[in-house]
Structure formats: C-alpha cells, structure tokens
Amino acid sequence: MFNFSKNTFKHGVHPPEHKDDTCTMKIKQFPFAPVMIIPMAQHLGAPSQVVVKEGQEVSRGQLIAKANGYMSVPIHAPVSGVIKKIGLVHTLSGNRCEGIYLEAFPFSGQEVPAGHGVDWRTSNQDEILAGVQQAGIVGLGGAAFPTHVKLKVPDGKKCEVLMLNGIECEPYLTTDHRVMLEQSSDIFMGIRYLLRSTQAERVIIGIEANKLDAAEHLQNNIPEGLPVEVKVVPVKYPQGAEKMLIKSVLDREVPSGGLPIDVGVVVVNIATCAEIGRLLPYGHGIQERVVTITGPGVKKKGNYLIPIGTPLRFALEEVGVADNISEVYMGGPMMGMSVSNLDISITKGTSGIVVFTEGETKKQGKPMACIKCGACVQACPMSLNPSRMGILAKHEAYQEMLDQEHIMDCFECGSCAYVCPSNIPLVQYFRQSKSSIRKQKLKANAH
Amino acid sequence: MLTKTLRITTSPHLKKGMDTPTIMRHVVYALLPVAIFSVFVFGSCAFWVLATTVLSCLITEFLINQIAGNHNSLTDSSAIITGLLLGLTLPPIFPLWMAAVGGFIAIALGKMAFGGLGNNVFNPALVARAVLQAAFPVAITTWYPAMQADRFQSLPSSLFTTPFFQPVFDGVSGATPLSAFKFDQVVASANDLAFGFVSGSLGETSAFLILVGGIYLWYRGIINWRVPVGIIATVFLLSGALYLIDATTFAPPQFMVLSGGLMLGAVFMATDMVGSPMTNKGMWIYAVFIGLMVVVIRSWGGLPEGVMYAILLANAISPHIDRMVKDRVYGT
Ligand code: SF4
Ligand code: SF4
C-alpha cells in the first residue's frame, strides 16, 4: 500500500534490535520530580541565558531562560514551582554548566497558559522559524541541533523535498515509533508548518520495515491535499543518519562536506515535526519529551513523556532498576553516551535511557592488533577504511587521515567498532582525531 | 537511593559476537579434520610432523614474547594455525628437526620480525615453507606413498635424522601426482585426488575435507568466499583453456584444481585475513592473480607446484591492491 523501496545505502550493520520490549507500550505521563535540575547547555550552540532569580515563583511553561543568539533556543519551566538555586549542574559530557534547580509545587494545577500562537495559514517563513525558536525546539533525535537553524534554507538554494526521519535505527529505542502511532495529527500539523517554511514541493516520511504499523497508520491518515508520501526502507543501521536516509530514499548522495540542502533536501526528525505541530498553534514552549527507558536492568520498561530537567536518578528510581546494573546509556547503545553520574538530567536531546546489568554487558575486551580482517571496511556506511584510519590515528598522522582517508566524513556511527573482532576503539580514535584536526585548523586560521 | 558506581565505556556499547581469539579458534577447528585425515592416510609419521611444527611455533612465540616483553599472545591460537598449516605443507617423512626449524622460522621471521599478528605481510607458514625449500631441497621433495599397510606400526627413520646430517629416506619414495604429471605425464584419478588417497604433502590429501572446512569458515563469516572461488575458478578456466589447446603438454583442469596444495592454499592460506585485501573488489583481483600465477608457474616454471609462490607474491601486492582499489567514499 505504501511505497516499499528495496533501496538502501551501502554497507552498514545489523545489531540485534531489542525493540519488542517497548514498541507496543503506549506513551505514559511521567510524574514530576520534587526538584527539577535544568541545565542551560541542552543543545548545540550557545547555552541559554537564565532570566529568573532564586526564590522566584514560576508557572509551568513560563520562560526561564532565553536564547543566547541565533544558534541558541530558550528554555521553559517544566513544572510550576519555585527557583531554589541557580548554579553549576552536571552534564552528560562530564563538564558542568550553569543550571536551574526548580522545586515543584505539590498539587499545583499543571495547566500551561497559551502564548502567541503561530497560524500556519497566514504566517510567513520568518514568523514560523521565529516561532520554532521561541518554542525552544531542537532536534529530538539526539543531536539537539536548534531546529530553526536547520530549517533555514540558505539563499540561492532550494528545498525540493522535506524528509521526515522516522527511521529510528538505534537498537532498543522506540520513541519515534510510538510518536508516529500516537501523534499523527501533530505530525501532519507540523508538516504544514514545515512545508510553509521550507517551501518544499513534497514530503517523504522515511520509515524502516520494522515499524510497518506506524507506516500504515500514517499512510491512512494523510490529510486531503498534503503532498505526503510514506516510504518504507529495509532495516539497517545507521539508516537514521541523514546522509544514509537520503541515499536510501532518494538515491542521492550529499557531497562530502556538504549538507542535505545541497541535494535539495531538508531532513527533520519525525518527533521534532510532531512537537512543532503540537506547540506552534498555541505558542507553547517545549516542556517534556518522549523517552524510552529500557534495557535488561529496568523493571518497568516503557515509553514515557518525561518533563525536561527530570533528574536521571529520579527517573531510574521511578521505573525501578535491578541491583546489579553496571552501565547506563543516554541515547541508544550504538551512539549514546555512557553515564558516570546519576545527577545529570533528562534534556531535550535525550531519546532513550538504556540500562545494562552485569551479566548483559560483554566487558569491552582489551584492544588487540588489527588483523586486517576488513570487517570494518565492509561495515562503514561512508565507505571509509577504518582499519587504516585507526593505524594512522595511533601514529597521530592526522594530515594523512585528512588527505587520503576522508576522516572528516566519519560521523561516528560506530559500525566499524561494532564489528571489529580486535576490540580496537576505532570511534574513540576518530573522535579524537577529528577534534585535533579541527583545533589545528583553528590555530592555522588564527595565524 | 541508587548509589551504584557505573562503568564508563565508549560507544558503540554493543559488540558483534566474535573476537580475534575466537576467530582463530574456529580456523583451528576447520583445520583439524584435514590434519586428522592426513594422519589416517600417512600414519604416525604425519602426527609427529604436525606435532613438531605446532609445538615449535608455540615455543618460539612464547620465547619471543618473553624476550621482547610483549604480553602473552599465545592465547589467540594464531601460532597453532601457523604450525598446522606449515606441517600440512610438508612431506610426511620430513625430518623432525627440520620441521622444528620451520616452525621457528615461521614465527620468528614470518610473524614476529614484522611486529606480530596483524603486521606480518606474508603468510608465516608459507615464509617458513619457502625457506625450508631453499635449505632442504631434497628432504622437502622426497615423498612417501599414501595408505601404507604398516603406517601406524613403524616410523620412517628419516623422521629422526640428527640435525645437519644427510637424512636417509627409507621405503619407497612415491612421486606426487603433480610431479608425476610434470615429468612423466601421468594423470591421477580425480576421485583419488579429491578424497586424498595419493602421496604428497600432508595437506594435499583431501580436497573434500578442505572444502568442508572452508564452508564452515565461510558460514561463520571468517573467510571471504571470493578468494577460494576466485582462485579455483581462475585455475580451472585457464588450465581448461590450455588443455583444450594442447592436451599433451597441459594437465586437465580438474586435475589442476585437485592436485597439489591448491585447495589448501586457496581455502586456508590465501584467505588469511592479514595478507589479503580488505574490499570485495580487492579480493577478486587478489584471487585471480593467485590463480593466474599458479597456472603459469605449474605450466612453465621449473617446479611442479606453484601455489606457495603464487600466494606469497599475492601477499606482497595485497597492500597495494588496498591502496589502489578503494570503495568510493560516499559523497565524493
Ligand atoms: S564510525 Fe566513522 S569510520 Fe566507523 S563506520 Fe561509522 S562512519 Fe565509518
Ligand atoms: S575490523 Fe578491526 S581487526 Fe578487522 S580490519 Fe578493521 S580494525 Fe582491523
């Protein structure tokens, strides 16, 4: 019934999916933590700027931090309460940043007052982009890139296709799956805004074949006159990466170093689109997001609508974890980060929390010599040579990695390290190499 | 209250099943039937040759690790593979001290001198075999008939030759099928060749068991099927063409494929990850190159057997193949 495409990108891997645990579980509202911890650095770009004072009472949905420039978004109170403290808070990266401790009023009505809505029928491009920024929307797929920046089609470029990313290729995660099943009207409303702001001619929703129910549901509910096409592609990791998705669905390749718009495409995560459709008509800001909490160590696995700023510790206690948990990841197990400190919070970019127990994690074995098995070469979706790059990285031969091996095209998907039998921490090498190369470039430019 | 200390790992946090020691172990499993069958065909002497090469490989690797202060690399089983492969390329009555020297050379020169597993350019077993060929030309080309009646009761005395003395080879020394063809134009039956009841080196015996081992390794995702298929197809087609042109000088294609170390080389040696290219395209080039060289050396060279040199040459060009045939990077 919908467009099933056999097309896919080259290489890639098939990690075990583990999605069955949660993909049938309806999104449930999560309780409010007694104290919310809200970091200002929740997105790529400049951290937001606090506009409240200690001791001040705020109501749910109220602006508590404003955008700090174009590459930034505001933050809204996730709950009505009182600002206890403004100070440093822990973040996932291990660094600390400024943050707000918000003590929730027990039993307060959690109504969100409406702000200035944006009408999709009458507003122009700039008004919509401003509305998206004011709502504090960032990419909910995990990268947390400010969405209004992404939606801005540069002068001289044209957006032909608006691509909605419903791939969700990370194992264990099912948030996008649930959003597609439960929030289709929000999604189609979001599409109206996105179509107007990007001026795209058509919309394609890309979905992997393991979510046929979602594809079917969306297909059946396309409103009259919306140029939307649902396209189902074979399951493969990392198809959710923009470049892979565009290759699979449109058979176009984004040029090395370029952006999707260079091939006439703007890609938006499906949950982000739903959020736009949900918030913009009412001028609301984003206060919560859907998070999959799952993994062998979790007792009440599920998809939860969690207030942003909920401390991870509270979230885990609420769902219950096994005694022998050993690792906690924010995001999926392929690209997510492992957590060292439970005092961090759930932010706009948190798509999932995966908890592993002692028995379930294969201890990362000691790295051994590369046996040139070629498994990484046959796995890399960008067709790079991770084996050679790994050896070069060890010798800090960054120039060669840049000139001969296209290191900057590596987007750290982890497929190579996933298959490497010698446990070589390839992605870690590449992350370091890329940041060294960027630093060198900055230095060179400064001279 | 949650107070657990958590382990920090880097992404990806999932791992595909097999690690390097497991891979190596599976190769050993795949080689064992071939080794056991060679003992059945040639008797106890085959066991001693294999045991000697394996042991001397292990001991050499252990000693070099000790001296160089490396971590203990014996657990990865790769030395056992080298030992087995080397033993399988030797004649069943090969003096044991020479076999021990071979094991030493394989590890010391073929592997550790390059920096250990993964850094060696050439297949260590073949390096050793090439050195032995140069050092002991007589011993390494003295063959022994298969399926001797008393093969489990007595051991050929040449096995126990004292080092540096000229061995005296007892019993009949049978020609291998390849030399029989090369020098006397005698063609062995394909059936005998396939199931191993011919004289020759230990691992030349059963094409069938080698194939089973190869299919096992392919099934486990350890070897790339393009290599053995490419080699065998090239040898078959090329020698078939030559045979059609002149059936008196050139051997029939099925004979070319089944005789000598071709099957063992194609399935177990050319597929060695370290010495073969990394892309599928590269694998094809590498395989066709080996097939071509085998036919050329066997047909026009002075030696009956060419697999060893063909693979060593291909090992040498494999890094260059990788440099030249890369997959096109996405978006370029
Ligand atoms: S992490 Fe980089 S090098 Fe490794 S597979 Fe992904 S894109 Fe390729
Ligand atoms: S997968 Fe690991 S061992 Fe195999 S070639 Fe790549 S880096 Fe080397």
Local confidence band at B152 (pLDDT 50, 70, 90 cut-offs): confident
Look at A255 and B332 and tell me if their CB atoms are within 8 Å: yes
For residue range B100-123, what is the model confidence (pLDDT) as tens digits?
999 999 999 999 988 888 889 999
B300 token code pair: 């026009």
Region A307-317: mean pLDDT is: 95
Q: Given the CA of residue A380, which atom of ligand 1 is nearest to it? A: 5
Question: At which residue do the structure tokens 């014996």 appear?
Answer: B74
Whether residue B170 has pLDDT greater than 60: no
A44 token code pair: 């790529």
B312 token code pair: 């060593």
Which residues line the pocket of ligand 1, CB cutoff 6 A? A 379-380, 382, 384, 386, 410-416, 426-427, 430
Contact A434, A407 (CB under 8 A): yes
Whether residue B173 has pLDDT greater than 60: no
CA of A422 to the centre of ligand 2 (A): 6
Radius of gyration of chain B (CA): 21
d(CA B183, CA B14): 58
Report pLDDT for A303: 96
Q: Which residue of A has its CA nearest to B15?
A: A418
Mutation target to probe the B interface, by most B beta carbons within 10 A, among A383, A389, A400, A415 is: A383
ipTM value for the complex: 0.85
Alpha helices per DSSP H over A251-396 = 270-279, 312-319, 386-394
Q: Report the relative pairing of strands A228-233 and A3-4 from DSSP bridges.
A: parallel
For residue range A248-307, what is the model confidence (pLDDT) as tens digits?
999 999 999 999 999 999 999 999 999 999 999 999 999 999 999 999 999 999 999 999
Q: How far apart are the first and last CA of chain B?
A: 53
CA A217 from chain centre, in angstroms, equals: 23
Local confidence band at B155 (pLDDT 50, 70, 90 cut-offs): confident
Look at A383 and B327 and tell me if their CB atoms are within 8 Å: yes
Please give the annotated binding residues of A for [4Fe-4S] cluster, written as ranges.
370, 373, 376, 380, 410, 413, 416, 420
Look at A418 and B4 and tell me if their CB atoms are within 8 Å: no
d(CA A4, CA A7): 9
Burial class (CB in 10 A: 0-12, 13-18, 19+), A264: middle
Sheet with A96-104: strands ordered across: A35-39, A96-104, A81-90, A57-58
All residues at 6 or more sequence positions from B12 whose CB lies less than 8 Å from its CB, including other chains: A15, A333, A334, A335, A414, A415, A417, A418, A427
Contact A409, B331 (CB under 8 A): yes
CA of B271 vs chain A CAs: smallest distance (Å): 10
For residue range B302-319, what is the model confidence (pLDDT) as tens digits?
776 788 999 999 999 999
Q: Which residue of A has its CA nearest to B12?
A: A334
Q: How far is CA A418 from CA A13, A173, A239, A256, A386, in A?
A: 8, 18, 15, 24, 12
CA of A27 vs chain B CAs: smallest distance (Å): 25
| C-alpha closest to that of B47 among B167, B131, B124, B155 | B155
* pTM, entire model: 0.89
d(CA A172, CA A162): 27
All residues at 6 or more sequence positions from B81 whose CB lies less than 8 Å from its CB, including other chains: B24, B27, B28, B31, B125
For residue range A236-248, what is the model confidence (pLDDT) as tens digits?
999 999 999 999 9
For residue range A154-207, what is the model confidence (pLDDT) as tens digits?
999 999 999 999 999 999 999 999 999 999 999 999 999 999 999 999 999 999
Contact A30, A315 (CB under 8 A): yes
d(CA A232, CA A218): 12
Partners of residue B274 in chain A, C-beta under 8 Å: 371-372
For residue range A374-423, what is the model confidence (pLDDT) as tens digits?
999 999 999 999 999 999 999 999 998 998 899 999 999 999 999 999 99
d(CA B156, CA B150): 11
